[in-house]
Amino acid sequence: MTHEIDFDAIIGKYRSDPFDYMDVCTIHTGQVRFRVRQDAAVEGPSGEWHHIRGTLLYEMTREGNQKKIFSSSNGVVSFIRDDLEGQFVEAGEKILTIRHPLKKREIIENILRQVLEPFNAPERAKYFFSLELQAKIDKHGQRGVSIKPGDEILTMSLMKRDTPVYYAGEPGIIHSVYFQPGVSVSQGEPLLGICSQEKLPMIQKIITRVKAEWE
Amino acid sequence: MEDLRKRLLKTEERTNYLSQIKDGVEWGNLSGLREKFVTLRDRFYDYTEEELSKEIGLLEESLCFLEARCEETLTSMDRVRIVRNPHRFSLKDILENVYEDYTELGGAEEVSIDPSMVAARASIMRRVKNKSVMQQVMVIGHEKGHGEEYRNGGCSKPWGNEKALRYMRVAETEGIPIHFYIFTPGSFPVEDYPGAGQQIARNLYAMAKLRVPMISVTSEGGSGGAEAVGMADVRLMFSHGYYSVISPEGAAAIEGKIREGEKMPKELVEACAENLHITAAENLKLGTIDRIVYEPPLGAKRDDFGFFRQLKSEIIRATDEVVLKTKSLRAFRAYELTMKKAGDQVVEEPHIEISWDLNEDEVKRLLSYRSKKYRAMSCKAYSEEGSACSAFCQKAKKSIAKLYYSFRYDLLKSQQKQVKKVFQDVSGEGSVLLKQVSSPITAAYDFIARKPGVRPGKPPAAASGSGEDPIEFGDVYTSPLANEDRTVTCPNTEKQGCKDLWVPDLYGEFGGVCENCGHHFPLEYQWYLKHLFDPDSIREFNSGVCAGNPLVYPGFEKRLQAAIAKTGRKSGIITFDARVMGVDLVVAMLYSDFRNGTVGAAEGEKFVRACESAKLKRRPLLSYVHTTGGIRIHEGTLGVVQMPKCTMAVREYIDSGGLYIVVYDNNSYAGPVASFLGCSPYQFAIRSSRVGFAGPRVIRDTTGEDIPPDYHNARNALQRGHIQGIWDRREFRRNLHKSLLTMGGGNLYYR
């Protein structure tokens, strides 16, 4: 199991190319007019509620309906289908790629998402650690508690009823907690990231390396 | 030597004050004066006492000269800066120096409900011969403080205005006069319960008929915030204060179309301040205030005790005046007249004891005077076409109508009501009796005659009114928007996955509503005229009242003419009689095409006349707000006084038993919402509309905080308790009819 993670490969991947590439595809059929050029810097949505829109990428006209498409993240336009300017394009055609520079936090999150076992919310509800587990966490810290299938780990609070949630999956320790107690979590959202005991040192190593090596 | 140093420091203070007023040292010889001062201060001990005294004397002399020149040439913006100066007196200073003693109510300093609004029970002393007489008053006003952050610079939060209203009611219960002091640059624009605009509307509504004398004095009167405590029987103003519809900076941002974050040109702000006519003298000329309380040159400061003595006599005099007006005794009247003749600057208070208690009749007279006062405001600020003959015809028509409606409703209706009631009672009793006798027979008949399986019972009653709604969307009026062959995207596409809408469908058959998520695209006001009311039932009145440019605002005349040419109408409001499924009503409709639905003197007058017409004809009144951008800033305070004026009209209409319904659509903001619209007990909004007190930019500018993008939408307004329901545009007609019947009852004019 330990050898399943080739962390050199993972880190090497991010080292050689610390970017995320986001393809922008046409949302529907229509005539495309670009509003950005190759290598242009674009901004993602901003504001406290993400209500200020990002950079205008392109406009699409169909049936006289002009539609503006804004960037969803910051970065640089690394690829653009200039030949399609003013052309009629089918829906789903890839016309732009935005190269988004990854931050240290994003890289760590990406890596963790790859290597951790997610535990997803079975229903939209509020979640709390079960009393027993909470006591253990208080005593030993989050990473000092190991869980195995069949353990009661969470309490799902829905409509004033508390239902215990039992763990099903690989045994391991709780590495990351994605929920806040008392805040509703939608169904299918990850609640916990579980990591098997053996994998832990490796993950720690990767994280420290990323933290140390990335500026 | 110590004396000389003090004198020197005093001159420095005066120089600083002067440069603050003039916004910099470039004016006059201020920089030279300052240099001289600095040399004197640095080489203080190099001089002999005599030399020093001579130099300082010279300095003082030139300073006096400069001050006098500054006072003569004060611009509007200078006055704004005087008012905002930290040295200016505040309400606390007035409470300390004008009143004998006072008790702050609702908490003090930062532990108050809203520290920017102070309510205090105070007593004021007057000397009658050798005796001193204490009189009780309620003092309510804004406290700017001297730099305390929690006071928000006198911007009252909604709960502060609520506090003011609470203590107004206390004063009413105790029968003591209220003295309002206005020191606010504007209301704090948060919509949290009870809501900025809502609370101002409630205050105005209550003040319209508050049964005690009210005096208001304005130092800094910023639009809505000022009106929340400004609807008084006598409105005084400090000579160096300002009273305005909007801050000069705000006006400059609108006029200069200045984007957020950009620097505002100083000249533009100065010009706007000039054009808005915000000074005391100009307001007196416009008739929006009654008298000026004169301040010492360059404005009174915290330690001008002579000024406070004068303020005391002025405020006593003003209260006397209000009280005496209500008395029926002639002697009092005569005395009042002599007081009026006494001129503007009176330092001594009247040496006669006048009781400020009013009896029932006097209260009635007080209220009627107040009503007349506000009805007459800004009546010269609009024009009305029509010859003397037509005016006479109008008058005659009105009196005939009055005769007819009072005969029909006051005489016949009450009789009819009583007869109806007797009939109802008798028939009710009768039916009970009859039922006892007839029930065995009907039961037997039912048993024999009815088919099995069919349940006995009455057929369902037909829908009230004319049954099926005859109007189908698209038949009557199709928006010109529908003529284009294209599609539009619903703004909720990302969230709701709405498909693109073909324009002819959307604006025709769908009535401008997204079929998937129900988002309402804006439609022209004509659509409502055609779809909301019964065909051909609209009779417009007062269409000749024309919006004007009473302040001769530069360049506004042209824009006004453009709006008139564009809409073919003369003001931003349409008033008409109409019918909804057989129910007659009077409608006042603010619409966006004319200067963004802003309200000025003409609009206010038309609205008041609509209220009067509805009152006369005993019909429900509907205010449909297609869009309102607030008070028209180009009319200055003549626009602002529409808030109390129209609220007074609404109050009188509702008090006489009328049913007043407000429906908001698209965007409804600012003054109108904070007065005559917001005071309605029945307020509804069309879906996808936005209702609020101030727009996002104003909120950002004044509070420095960002608001969520959906802050003003109808759902949130409903949640906050501002409106009572959200209507679908396609259901507007049916909902309106239903609410007319449910809220108005059978005869609609419900009391």
Report ipTM (2 d.p.): 0.70
Rounded CA separation B190/B708 (Å): 12
What is the reported pLDDT for B392? Answer: 87
Q: What are phi and psi of B630, to 5 degrees?
A: 110, -155
Average pLDDT rounded to a whole number, residues B66-75? 91
Q: How far is CA B56 from CA B13, B32, B59, B68, B113, in A?
A: 14, 14, 5, 18, 48
What is the reported pLDDT for B185? Answer: 92
pLDDT digits (tens, 9 = 90+) for B502-557: 999 999 889 899 999 999 999 999 999 999 999 889 999 999 999 999 999 999 99
**Strand runs labelled E in A4-93:** 19-25, 30-34, 41-42, 56-62, 65-70, 75-80, 88-89
What is the reported pLDDT for B117? Answer: 95
Band of pLDDT at residue B457, cut at 50, 70 and 90: very low
What is the reported pLDDT for A2? Answer: 45
Average pLDDT rounded to a whole number, residues B364-378? 95
Q: Over 50: is that where the pLDDT of A136 sits?
A: yes
Chain B: closest CA distance from residue A152 (Å):
36
* 3-state secondary structure at position A111: helix
Contact B314, B342 (CB under 8 A): no
Count CA atoms closer than 13 A to B543's CA, side-chain side: 11
Residue type at position B312: K
Are B485 and A63 within 8 A, CB to CB? yes
Q: Which residues pair with A190 in a beta bridge?
A: A120
B728-732: which pairs have CB atoms within 8 A and are 24 or more residues apart?
Answer: B728/B513, B728/B518, B728/B520, B728/B686, B728/B687, B729/B511, B729/B512, B729/B513, B729/B520, B729/B523, B729/B665, B729/B686, B729/B687, B730/B473, B730/B511, B730/B513, B732/B528, B732/B531, B732/B532, B732/B663, B732/B686
Return the HEC string of B309-342.
Answer: HHHHHHHHHHHHHHHHHHCCCHHHHHHHHHHHHC
Least confident among B35-49, B132-146, B630-644 = B35-49
Asked if the C-beta of A182 comes within 8 angstroms of chain B's C-beta atoms, the answer is: no
Average pLDDT rounded to a whole number, residues B131-160? 92
The number of angstroms, rounded, from the C-alpha of A147 to the middle of its chain's C-alpha atoms is 24
Are A63 and B484 within 8 A, CB to CB? no
Instruction: Pull the structure tokens for residue A176.
Output: 């990351």
Question: In chain A, which residues have their Cβ closer than 8 Å to the Cβ of B708?
Answer: 48-49, 51
Q: Can you spell out the DSSP letters for A64-76?
A: TEEEEEE-SS-EE
> Chain B residue closest to A53 (CA)?
B709
Q: What residue has token string 């906050």?
A: B720
Average pLDDT rounded to a whole number, residues A115-119? 85
Band of pLDDT at residue B451, cut at 50, 70 and 90: low
What is the reported pLDDT for B390? Answer: 80
Question: In chain A, which residues have their Cβ closer than 8 Å to the Cβ of B712?
Answer: none
Residue (of B326, B314, B291) closest to B175 by Cα position? B326
pTM score above 0.90: no
Burial class (CB in 10 A: 0-12, 13-18, 19+), B286: buried
Q: Which of B260, B489, B503 to mutate to test the interface with A (most CBs of A within 10 A)?
A: B489
Pick B486's closest partner by Cβ from A47, A51, A65: A65
Band of pLDDT at residue B332, cut at 50, 70 and 90: low
Higher model confidence: residue A2 or residue B406? B406
Q: What are phi and psi of B585, to 5 degrees?
A: -155, 165
What is the reported pLDDT for B434? Answer: 79
What is the reported pLDDT for B550? Answer: 94
What is the reported pLDDT for B337? Answer: 59
Least confident among A76-90, A149-163, B178-192, B224-238 = A149-163
Chain B: closest CA distance from residue A73 (Å):
16
Band of pLDDT at residue B463, cut at 50, 70 and 90: very low
Q: Which residues pair with B179 in a beta bridge?
A: B139, B215
* 3-state secondary structure at position B103: strand
Band of pLDDT at residue B747, cut at 50, 70 and 90: low
Helices then strands, each counted (H, E), chain B: 27, 20
Q: Over 90: is that where the pLDDT of B341 sits?
A: no
Contact B189, B246 (CB under 8 A): no
Question: In chain B, which residues have their Cβ closer than 8 Å to the Cβ of A49?
Answer: 706, 708-709
> Chain A residue closest to B502 (CA)?
A63
Q: Over 90: is that where the pLDDT of A182 sits?
A: no
Q: What is the largest CA-CA distance in chain A?
A: 65
pLDDT digits (tens, 9 = 90+) for B396-409: 988 998 888 888 87
The average confidence (pLDDT) of chain B is 88
What is the reported pLDDT for B32? Answer: 86
pLDDT digits (tens, 9 = 90+) for B246-286: 999 989 998 888 888 788 899 999 999 999 999 999 999 99
Are B484 and A64 within 8 A, CB to CB? yes
Average pLDDT rounded to a whole number, residues B685-699? 93
Question: In chain B, which residues have their Cβ closer than 8 Å to the Cβ of A28?
Answer: 500
Contact A97, A22 (CB under 8 A): yes
Q: Over 80: is that where the pLDDT of B449 sits?
A: no
Least confident among B222-226, B291-295, B447-451, B603-607 = B447-451
